[in-house]
């Protein structure tokens, strides 16, 4: 998700949060948020399809690393006795890792490479 999309999603969510819950305008605001989320998901899915298709067709060898993403996304907050450092940077890294979708990318790569071989 691009920074512009993040700002737009935050704006739509803020509008929805200020509506009276259960009202007609609240339902419309929730529908706008859902529509925008679907738009982002489709854009990311399309980019992932194009990338994996290009790599499978134009490269003789494709390597993938077995990353321990869960360990990479561990919290940096620490405890009250020993607080963590650089928590904001870690939060940004976790956000990017979460959006990346490594599992789906590797699944599509395997599928595309099986078609070629």
Across the chain, which has 117 residues, the per-10-residue mean pLDDT values are: 92 97 97 97 93 88 80 80 83 82 87 79
Q: Which domain, by its residues, includes 37?
A: 3-116
Q: What is the pLDDT of residue 50?
A: 94
In this structure, which long-range contacts are made by residues 97-102, counting pairs with CB atoms below 8 Å and at least 24 apart in sequence? 97/69, 97/72, 97/73, 98/73, 99/1, 99/44, 101/44, 101/48, 102/67, 102/69
What is the count of structural domains for the chain?
1
What is the reported pTM? Answer: 0.73
Q: What is the pLDDT of residue 8?
A: 97
Q: Which residues pair with 78 in a beta bridge?
A: 83
């Amino acid at each position: 998700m691009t920074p512009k999309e993040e700002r737009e999603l935050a704006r739509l969510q803020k509008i929805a949060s200020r509506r009276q819950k259960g009202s007609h305008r609240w339902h419309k605001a929730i529908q706008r948020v859902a529509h925008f989320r679907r738009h982002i998901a489709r854009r990311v899915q399309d980019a992932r399809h194009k990338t994996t298709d290009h790599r499978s067709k134009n490269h003789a060898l494709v390597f993938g690393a077995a990353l321990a993403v869960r360990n990479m996304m561990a919290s940096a907050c620490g405890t009250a006795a020993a607080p963590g450092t650089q928590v904001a940077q870690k939060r940004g890294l976790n956000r990017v890792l979460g959006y990346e979708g490594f599992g789906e990318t590797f699944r599509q790569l395997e599928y595309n490479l099986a078609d070629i071989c």
